[in-house]
Structure 1
Amino acid sequence: MSPVVTPLTRRRLDKAQEALAARDIRLGEVIARVGPCTMLPRREGTHFGHLVRNIIHQQLSTGAAATIHGRFVALIGGERDAPDPAAILALPEEALRACGLSMAKTRAIRDLALHVVDGRLPMHALDTMTDDEVIQALVPVRGIGPWTAQMFLMFRLGRPDVLPVLDLGVRKGAQRMYRTRALPDAARLEKLARNWRPWASVASWYCWRALELDDATSTSPRALRAARRVP
């Protein structure tokens, strides 16, 4: 049996911030300027509902995705964040397309529902799987690649040590943080992230936030010292 991974909590986030700031002065500067990490896992609804919502939101603006998701929920019925996979499979593709879903997303959602109904994707067991096991369970589903699986690990299961090496935002944030000339590729990012373990998810979150900072803002030595003793 795989060891149970403790998800991120407010207390564990505080511990992660303190450890990361103590190990890495550049990351510590970003932590001092951004403030506390807010990446607590989203536990409303079901794992299935979370994945469906992620598929709907892919490559859409927040407003457009919310409208389509609302139509989808109204069509399927039941709880907003806990749609029934069997109910989805009982509907023709045309009904789902009428919600505003593309053909690709319609087929992805139906394939996800089919994987759950026939048992190939054991949703009830995902919390007890290792990160690699979760990824291996999710990527056979149409429309779910390694990046989507990693986002599920980070934002749904609250796994603390996920490093999405192909995420453009994380790569750009790392480039800005470490002032590298070239955008780090996967191998380079792995090297830059050696000090991030076992809190790579939290460090990745700060890479995203680093892109929102104004470079003209300076950080005082006092602020850097404060970052090392977060909370």
Structure 2
Amino acid sequence: MEYTIRDVLSKDPVLERLIQEHGVPALEKRNGSPFEALVRSIIGQQLSGAAATTIRNRLFELYGDAAVCPSAQQIRDTAPEKLQKIGVSRQKATYLYALADAYCRDESRFERFHTLSDNDITQYLVSIKGIGEWTVHMFLLFYLGREDILPTGDLGVRKGMMKVYDLPELPQSSTMTRIAAPWQPYRSFGTLLMWRALDSINPIAK
């Protein structure tokens, strides 16, 4: 499998050189339920990793254990003031309630995500208040481990692409899609390489 992925990605000479330095990155799926993964994503929106972890732990501790995500019903039953007291903004509390409501209405759909297409999952999740395309892309990439995800709205991927392709400015979605076209159907691995490139190499495009 790794050889096949490497063979496809190496059609792009820039990625070929990144792979020579880093290898093909592993795409590791995270544990937990789809509901928990989306709760974590909402909490983490526009926060540093450390701040998101602190607030997430406080949220989980409200229900007894910092390592265990509360159920959708537990979140629905929690007063907004209680969430705000632990650092969850009013807006994010609204998003958590919207997610919990959607889960309680159609739990089976969430549990079937692994059988649905990327497009079907995206169309459904973005209909829930507070879940946008970036959140869905992170969910598809890190929770479901989907192999062909290009998060065009992610600043880190945009910066990485600007750096390694020596672009004059941050690329827009159309430019990113064009550059990543040769990576298909393994754009997730190119995405991971863009993040790695930010911290480790100089621009190498010719």
TM more than 0.5: yes
Residues 57-90 of structure 1: per-residue CA shift (max 9 Å, x gap): 2222222222211111111246834421011111
Q: 1:1-231 residue pairs with structure 2 within 5 A?
A: 12-13=1-2, 15-21=4-10, 23-42=11-30, 44-77=31-64, 80-119=67-106, 122-215=109-202
**Preserved CA contact (<8 Å) 1:153 1:159:** yes
| Paired residues of 1:173 and 1:207 also in contact (CA < 8 A) | yes
Count of equivalent residues:
204
- Seen in structure 2, the aligned counterparts of structure 1 residues 13 and 99 have a Cα distance that, compared at 3 Å, is farther
Question: Could you say if the C-alpha distance between residues 62 and 181 of structure 1 is closer, same or farther in structure 2, counting changes exceeding 3 Å?
Answer: closer
Q: What TM-score results when the alignment is normalised by the length of structure 1? A: 0.81
Q: 1:154 to 1:106 in 2, by over 3 A?
A: same
Matches of 1:60 and 1:89, distance apart in 2: 23
Question: Structure 2 counterpart of 1:205, which letter?
Answer: L
Q: Please tell me whether the aligned partners of residues 58 and 66 of structure 2 are also in contact (alpha carbons under 8 angstroms).
A: no
Contact 1:160 1:201 in 2 (8 A): yes
Q: Which runs of 5+ in 1 are unaligned?
A: 1-11, 219-231
Aligned residues of 1:78 and 1:84 also touching (Cα < 8 A): no
Deviation at 1:165, TM superposition (A): 1.9
Q: Secondary structure at 1:158's aligned position in 2? A: coil
Q: Relative to 1, partners in 2 of residues 1:192 and 1:36: Cα closer, same or farther, differing over 3 Å?
A: closer
Write the distance in 1 (CA, Å) between the matches of 2:54 and 2:152.
31
Partner Cα separation in structure 1 for residue 131 and residue 108 of structure 2: 12
Counterparts of 1:62 and 1:187, CA distance in 2:
29
Would you say the 8 A contact 1:13–1:37 is kept in 2? Answer: no
94 and 190 in structure 1: CA distance in 2 versus 1, 3 angstrom threshold: same
Report if the CA contact (8 A) 1:139-1:149 is conserved: yes
Take 2:177 and 2:160, find their aligned partners in 1: how far apart are those partners?
14
Q: Are the aligned partners of 1:14 and 1:36 in contact in 2 as well (CA < 8 Å)?
A: no
**Percent pairwise identity:** 35
User: Is the contact made by 1:45 and 1:81 (CA closer than 8 Å) also made in structure 2?
Assistant: no
Distance 1:215 1:69 in 2: 35
Query: 2:104 is matched by which residue type in structure 1?
Result: V
- What do you get for the CA RMSD once the two structures are aligned? 2.1
CA distance in 1: counterparts of 2:167 and 2:47, whole angstroms: 31
Contact 1:161 1:200 in 2 (8 A): yes
Mapped partners of 1:63, 1:166: distance in 2: 22
- TM-score, length basis structure 2: 0.90
Unpaired segments of 5 or more residues in structure 2? none
Structure 2 distance, partners of 1:192, 1:81, is: 40
d(CA) in 2 for partners of 1:103, 1:119: 25
If asked which structure has higher relative contact order (CA below 8 Å, sep 6+), I would say: 1
Q: Deviations over 1:78-112 (max 9, x none)?
A: 68344210111112111111221110111111110
